Amino acid sequence: MNRKGEKLQQRTIKRPVEVVGIGLHKGEPIRLRLEPLDADAGIVFYREDLAMSIPLSPSSVIDTRMATVIGDKEKGFISTIEHFLSAVYAYGIDNMRVIVDGNEMPIMDGSSISFCLLLDEAGVEELDAPKKILRVTKVIEVKDGDKFVRLSPTDKASFDFRIKFDHPVIGEQSEHFEFSTHNFIEEIARARTFGFAKDIQYLQSQNLALGASLQNAIGLDSHKVLNPEGLRFDNEFARHKILDAMGDMMVSGYNILGKYESFAGSHNLNYQLTSKLLSDSKNYELVAVQALQSRAFAKSFA
SS3 annotation, the chain:
CCCCCCCCEEEEECCCEEEEEEECCCCCEEEEEEEECCCCCCEEEEECCCCEEEECCHHHEEECCCCCEEEECCCEEEECCHHHHHHHHHHCCCCEEEEECCCECECCCCCCHHHHHHHHHHCEEEEEEECEEEEECCCEEEEECCEEEEEECCCCCEEEEEEECCCCCCCEEEEEEECCHHHHHHHHCCCCCEEEHHHHHHHHHCCCCCCCCCCCCEEECCCCECCCCCCCCCCHHHHHHHHHHHHHHHHHCCCEECEEEEECCCHHHHHHHHHHHHCCHHHEEEEEHHHCCCCHHHHCCC
Dist. CA 172–CA 163, nearest whole Å: 6
Q: Return the active site residues.
A: 267
Dist. CA 57–CA 61, nearest whole Å: 7
